[in-house]
Chains A and B, each alone.
Chain A
Amino acid sequence: MKADLLTMGTALMAAVVATGPGRNGSRLLRPAIDSISLEPTSDARGASGVAVLTRSPSPFGMSLTPDGHLRYDVHLHVSGLPADPRVYDGATAYVAWATVPDLSLARRLGPVAADGSSSGEVDWNKFIVLVTAEKTSVQPGTKPGAKPGAKPAAEPHWSGTILLKGVSPSTWMQRYGSHILNNGGNPQW
């Protein structure tokens, strides 16, 4: 049993230690904390993108809202989308969005320029970045799943096809609560 547990420690560490040991013998597999890989949906096979997060300018270095949310500038670079967005149900523009994990809030970051770039600001703890194909004039939409005729959300919401998506690095934060040692040795997955 001792051997099992010792093995556990070593193997668990091995499980997250990538190749190419650094000076201290460790290079941990970990998503970058300053960029989001944008993966294509089945509607945009072959497309790709990245959303780079930079600190919003602040004399303090760290830019925080009054209630402590980190303020990020998001810089998108996408490629591989059809040159003409009309293939997506008559859409006329590609638009970058941010939304929160339960999709209850959305923020229009901005249109994707011809060179594939877009940018905006996000100050949510955990968020999702999307690129959609939209009609030219993006009207405030309703939340996904809202009853027909529901009041439009105060913030504009996407209504077109989702083409690229990625989650903020903070979304990768794991839970100690799901750890095997919190579950009597019986993993809960």
Chain B
Amino acid sequence: MAATPSGNAGAGARVTPGRRFGLPTWMSGFVRGVRSHAMVTAAVIVAVAGWTGAATAASQTAPPDTSHGGMAGMAGMAMGNAGPSGGHRMPPMPADIPMMPGMESLHPQGPAYVPGAGTDVASLPAGVASTPVEMKDGDTLNLDARLIRRTIKGATYAMYAFNGQYPGPLIRVHENATIYVRFTNHIDLPSSIHWHGVRLANKFDGSVGLTQDAVPPGGTFVYQVHFPDAGLYWYHPHVREDIEQNLGLFGNVVVTSPDPHYYNPANAEAVLILDDLLVDTQGIIPYGRDAADFTIMGRFGNLFLVNGEPNYHLAVHRGDVVRFFLTDASNARSYNLNFGGAPIKLVATDLSRYEHEQMVSNIVISPAQRYTAEVRFGTPGTFALTNRVQAVNNYAGEYFPEVDTLGTITVSADPTTADHAHEFTTLRANTAVTSDIDRYRKYFDKPVDHELALTVNIQGLPNSIVSFMIVDTMYFSPVEWNDGMPDMNWVSTAKEVHWIMRDVATGKEDMDINWHFTQGDVAKIRIRNDAKSMHPMGHPIHFHGQRFLVLARDGVPNPNLAWQDTELIPVGSAEDILLDASNPGTWMAHCHIAEHLEAGMHMMFTVDPAP
């Protein structure tokens, strides 16, 4: 009989009455058929699933699909290894999570992609640490993306970098400055630069297929970037982020306010970009050439990097207050950051400070989000910067505590030269923020203008994977803090997994959605994360080119507002955001898990200029 890939059973699927959770009759035949085997062979699973597996490792000459699921890509150079697995390598399994039976012969559909493959890594220029660059209004910065060589924990990798730096140059610029960035693409993929969170002119947003064509290898594009809002921003390509951003193409922009007291006094500033790379003993786990892999949960790394380094270190004096600018540049990972128990004052997020400063004991940050926090190290000693989460072991059906040490802060016994303890313990009310937001309060109770449902459609994964995923369907964490099923996640590509933003009113999905606003409109948008889909997951949703307030989470009003561009919507939750449609153009909104974006989770909205 014809093998039919099946991810979601339709309404017509047969259910044995009264046997839904018992041992269905079909299983007796199954058990008979395989009883003599130690385990079900992978070959059978593959054949039954209609999974073409190794047979698809055909042409290695076409460029990666850089289309974001339908937008025009540009040709790049081809890389990849031939072979029965198409050049793919299974990610290492975490301790205590064994590989599922049959997985050893599965791999993502389509050939693998290894940037720089065929290049002698030793011949690549060595990457260097990021350097700050102060830019004045009208200045021009050349940003050159190219392959570099990096040695991390003794292993050498071919990676990408802007100007050879990891992360890319740290741009410091004043509020309301306009700078020019001449981007030259010397990597082996088409690329662009997106200025995340910046309310800049639409045509410089870097959204390939929407605001510009991709910059081909060897090509150049000049971005005119205007920074209307003080805050912390970052830049990254908007082409195959799952590859390009993951391999190091990102950097921060710190936009400073003319107000010298915008932040509290601090003894030091530290700009930290968090990232995680997925490696094994042979190198970076290859990517999908024609379609992103790891599309169920996104690619969770096992090598944690802060500013590109596995052992971030900062030395301060006893009593020092350090202002940390934090960005999550990971493809998929949300972090729960601790500073060794040192007290943390939360000051600002994406595009603004909070109405009220508040003390927190830890910081939860999701892909593309930023937080500005001041931390006081009052006692000498070593403070570990850690990610501490309750991770899931899907094999055991249990949680386990995961502690990832990202770096250390050593505090010397020497006292600080300027003690800001009083200012640190004083929580300010930022009246400038509140009075700006006051102009929008009349819209807080308006009806919902648009409602989005976040969901997924999975079709065509091997039956073995689907049957394991069904085991998963009884419970989903609101946010997944680790990958408890990396073998299965890896096999899923953008060809089988389709993440969906659905406009509830029209039923339109993803790039068929194009909401229209007029500049000056203030729109209430409800975003609901469907808990009943085949494999729900928390999604960090990002709106380009505008700013929004999170008015309410699950109907509970947000008591401390700040302007954001990215908000994590947990599974089963509904959140109301108030979009300040201030910036004309046709823009993208999408999930910032790189693999979900590649698997379709993006839509459009247009802000027409005010008449």
- Stretch touching chain A among B26-34, B182-190, B191-199, B257-265: B26-34
Chain A residues with Cβ below 8 Å from B3 are 2, 6
Q: Is B13 an interface residue (CB 8 A)?
A: yes
Confirm or deny: A83 has a beta carbon within 8 angstroms of a beta carbon on chain B.
Answer: no
Which residues of chain B are near A179, meaning CB under 8 Å?
100, 467-468, 471
Write out the residue numbers on chain A whose beta carbons fall within 8 Å of the beta carbon of B9: 10, 13-14, 17, 25-26
Interface string of A14-28 (1 = CB under 8 A from B): 111101011111111
Cβ-defined contact, A31 with B475, below 8 A:
yes
Interface residues of A, CB < 8 Å — how many?
A: 69
Task: Give the distance in Å from the alpha carbon of A101 to the alpha carbon of B401 in the complex.
Answer: 17
Indicate if the CB atoms of A169 and B48 lie closer than 8 Å: no
Of the candidates A4, A13, A54, A125, the one having the most CB atoms from chain B within 10 angstroms of its own CB is A13
Hey, which chain A residues are within 8 Å of B6, CB to CB? 9-10, 13
A43-51, A65-73, A133-141: which one contacts chain B?
A: A65-73
Chain B residues near A54 (CB-CB < 8 A):
554, 556
In B449-474, the 8 Å CB interface with A consists of 455-457, 463-464, 466-468, 470-474
Is there contact, CB below 8 Å, between B390 and A14?
A: no
Contact status A24-B457, CB under 8 Å: yes
A66 touches which one: B388, B532, B575 (CB < 8 A)? B388
Is B170 an interface position by the 8 A CB rule? no
**B45 located at the interface, meaning its Cβ lies under 8 Å from any Cβ of chain A in the complex:** yes
Residues from chain B with Cβ under 8 Å of A32 in the complex: 531, 572
Instruction: Look across to chain A and name the residue whose beta carbon is closest to the beta carbon of B15.
Output: A14
Please determine whether B390 and A125 come into contact, CB atoms closer than 8 angstroms: yes
Q: Is A173 an interface residue (CB 8 A)?
A: yes
| Complex contact A15–B15 (CB within 8 A) | yes
Tally of chain B residues near chain A (CB < 8 A) = 103
A186 at the interface (CB under 8 A from B): yes
For the complex formed, measure the closest distance between the CB of B26 and the CB atoms of chain A, giving whole angstroms.
4
* Distance to closest chain A CB from B21 (angstroms): 7
Q: Is the CB of A172 within 8 A of B474?
A: yes
Give min CB distance, A24 to chain B, whole Å. 5
Q: Which residue of A lies closest to B392 (CB)?
A: A173
- Complex CA gap A189/B470 in Å reads 17
Tell me if B44 and A60 are in contact (CB < 8 A). Answer: no
CA distance A10 to B575 in the complex (A): 35
Asked if B40 contacts A70 (CB within 8 A), the reply is no
Most buried by B among A19, A26, A176: A176
The answer to whether A169 and B475 touch (CB under 8 A), given A4-B29, A10-B6, A66-B362, is: yes
What sequence of 0s and 1s flags, for each residue 18-55 of chain B, a beta carbon within 8 Å of any chain A beta carbon?
01110110110111111101111000110111000000
Contacts A/B (CB < 8 Å), 27 sampled: A1-B33, A6-B463, A8-B26, A8-B463, A9-B466, A12-B467, A21-B11, A24-B457, A29-B20, A32-B572, A33-B478, A58-B364, A60-B364, A62-B334, A62-B479, A66-B388, A67-B401, A68-B390, A170-B399, A175-B396, A176-B471, A176-B472, A178-B397, A181-B39, A185-B34, A185-B35, A185-B40
> Apart from A13-B470, A24-B533, what are 14 other A-B pairs with CB-CB below 8 Å?
A2-B1, A5-B33, A17-B8, A24-B534, A26-B532, A55-B556, A66-B341, A66-B388, A67-B388, A170-B475, A175-B471, A182-B100, A184-B38, A186-B31
